[in-house]
Structure 1
Amino acid sequence: MHRTDLLPIGELAARTGVAVSAIRFYEAKGLIASLRTAGGQRRFLRAETRRLSFILIAQQMGLSLDEIAAELVRLPSERTPNAADWRRISTGLRARIDAQIAALERTRDLLDGCIGCGCLSLKKCGLYNARDKAAQRGAGPRYLLGDRSGDIAEAR
């Protein structure tokens, strides 16, 4: 490994747009790793730029740090991830993204008529959620969470 293969923390921050304090935090959580110089300064492999980018994207998707760590374990630590490495990760995350999209589409489609209680509208509440049938499925806005009014009536 050449000295040019290693980045000081400030350069890693500049290249990724991630604050130095956040880089230290991610390192402390085990999401990225550094090497130490004889003087104790952090040096990062260039591959850590991709790992940091993945962390930022995964956080935007709503993954927890534990979930991100589980995905990062699947990436090589000794080299920059390649297309096959990323394909393994993306295949695993695709179902989660599809579920998030479906939930957002349900919310968008029902939002205009729903005040958040689980029925479709106040005017029709007696028809769609008479005697609070939706509550039998659990707390929260049941219809926005994916329950259908027919499912709830059948559960009765």
Structure 2
Amino acid sequence: MGASLQRVLGFDYGTRQIGVAVGQTLTGHANPLKELRARDGIPDWDQIGTLLKEWQPDALIVGLPLNMDGSPSEMSARAEKFARRLHGRFQLPVHCVDERLSTFEAKQTLRDSGRGAPASYRDNPVDSLAAALLLETWLAGQKEKE
């Protein structure tokens, strides 16, 4: 990883919305930013470009929603395609991370905080929180490699 990698953006890919979070290698923590609307999995690339200009990340992390047995799913193939397009458009390193439980964990975190009963996920979207959790998973893996 090296000392030069400092700020990363994480994406929790979905066909209707994509959660975004920002994290940094120094602390290993990530914060949810926002949800981006997607149309059948296609984001507004200008919105992503604006986020990249604002945060100036050194790398991008995309969650791969694998099946529970670790095998690829239809969504993980779409997430990998999204990751390739991110790299192609913005010329930044893109890393994929297993995010099998991040959305589940995000919903549990919202429930535990009292902010998210199951009926209110529309009011309290979990995608950016899931992006933060998958980003922290990736950051923890980077620390282990040091």
Work out whether the TM-score is over 0.5: no
User: What interval of TM-score do these two structures reach, taking the shorter chain for normalisation?
Assistant: under 0.3
Going by fraction, where is strand more abundant, 1 or 2? 2
Bigger radius of gyration among the two = 1
TM-score (norm 1): 0.21
Going by fraction, where is helix more abundant, 1 or 2? 1
Higher RCO by CA contacts (8 Å cutoff, separation 6 or greater): 2
